[in-house]
Amino acid sequence: MMKNQVTSGRWQVASGECVNSTNLTGFFGNIRRLFISLRLSQCTRRYLSGAITVLVLLLTTTSNAASDVNRFIWDQANTQMSHATKSDDYLKAAESYNRLLRNGIVNAPLLINLGTALTMGGDTVNAQTAFERAELYSGTTPEIKNGLVAALARQTNKSDIELPWYRTAFFWHFDTRARLRIIIALIGWSLLWVGILLYLIRNRYTQRDLQYILTLSETCMITGALILLIFSASSIFTLIQERNIRSHWASVQFANTATSQLEGDQ
């Protein structure tokens, strides 16, 4: 059942680890040693240490407070989802998940839950967008595939739906998360330049090694260029897609499109 794939696991703050007391102790110790090495006066060191202490405590408190709020919203949305029985209930859960997106929390589990809530609530167009956006952060997973199939099935009112052919043809784009594709594109760029540099310094090698260096240079340039072309195009398309989705999602209004279509037909 579609509802069973909701992720209700432990909340994780995507923006990084919270600062603990051990880290703060080491931090202030490094600051103190820095001031001593700069030969600042004792009065100046106390003033700067106090100012930095207040700033760090304010930032830590603000970060922890925001994390607690987001954790509460996450638990609230999961509770709403588990108790939902009508489309309006699912859309309310979707609004709670969307609050996290507006708070700057973006990850695959959140988007999968949002897409599931929207599918159950009848807003299949935005559900499809949520699942496709989840792919950018995790690559294709069984949960995302099932979510896309369910959203498309409700859009077309067909039970035997298949995903578009291009998802199989361009598997590296959909199966690999965006960050990894960018890294692979950079590796291809580096490999291309290794081949170019080997070609430029070919005259430094003896005649015996020259053929080996030229072969290695050609292999690096061709392989690097292909990797760079494929994965940079994929990454650029993803960045444009994410930018468009962010602008759309900022003002999106969820609604049961199935109900709207029935009313329009009547």
The domain limits of the chain are 24-71, 174-245
| CA angle centred on 139, ends 134 and 141, rounded to 5° | 85
Those residues whose C-beta lies under 8 Å from the C-beta of residue 65, and which sit 6 or more positions away, are: none
Pick from 20-24, 25-29, 101-105, 124-128 the range whose average pLDDT is largest.
124-128
pTM over 0.85: no
Tokens of 1: 């059942």
Handedness of CA 155, 157, 162, 165 (dihedral sign): negative
Q: How confident is the model at residue 262 (pLDDT cuts 50, 70, 90)?
A: very low
Amino acid at 174: F
Of all residues in the chain, the percent with pLDDT exceeding 90 is: 42
Contacts (Cβ under 8 Å, ≥6 apart) of 96:
73, 76, 77, 80
Q: What share of the chain is helix, strand, coil (3-state, %, to 5)?
A: 80, 0, 20
Can you tell me the distance from the alpha carbon of 150 to that of 2, in angstroms, rounded to the nearest whole number? 8
